[in-house]
């Protein structure tokens, strides 16, 4: 990204995204279930099409889920 990040403009965009999809750090089983449901819904549309506009979101949500699973895996 070459342009400076305009944080003031980012706040409402982030709030809009969060109101449409639960994209955030997963802290509880409930958060995990919401993130998993979101990922499944995204995959129904995106499939494995790396050129789809939401493919990056699939990757981000998948990474959040993976991090939670690693941290909460039974020993």
> How large is the average pLDDT for residues 37-51?
97
Residue 7 lies in a domain: no
By CB neighbour count within 10 A (0-12 exposed, 13-18 middle, 19+ buried), where does 18 fall? exposed
> How large is the average pLDDT for residues 21-47?
95
Residue 10 lies in a domain: no
pLDDT at residue number 70: 94
Residue 48 lies in a domain: yes
Tokens of residue 5, six digits = 């990040």
pTM: 0.84
Q: Count the domains in the chain.
A: 1
Residue 5 lies in a domain: no
Euclidean distance between the first and the last CA atom of the chain, given in angstroms as a whole number: 40
Residues 7-32 pLDDT 10s: 999 999 999 999 999 899 999 999 99
In this model, does residue 2 exceed pLDDT 60? no
pLDDT at residue number 39: 98
> CA 69 → CA 5, 29, 45, distances in Å?
31, 10, 24
* Domain range enclosing 51: 22-71
Residue 2 lies in a domain: no
Say what angle helices 55-71 and 29-46 make with each other, to 10 degrees: 150
């Amino acid at each position: 990204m070459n342009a400076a990040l305009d944080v003031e403009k980012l706040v409402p965009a982030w709030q809009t995204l969060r109101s449409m999809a639960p994209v955030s750090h997963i802290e509880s089983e409930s958060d995990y279930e919401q993130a998993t449901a979101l990922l499944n819904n995204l995959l129904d549309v995106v499939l494995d099409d790396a050129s789809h506009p939401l493919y990056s979101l699939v990757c981000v949500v998948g990474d959040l889920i993976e991090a939670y699973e690693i941290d909460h895996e039974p020993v």
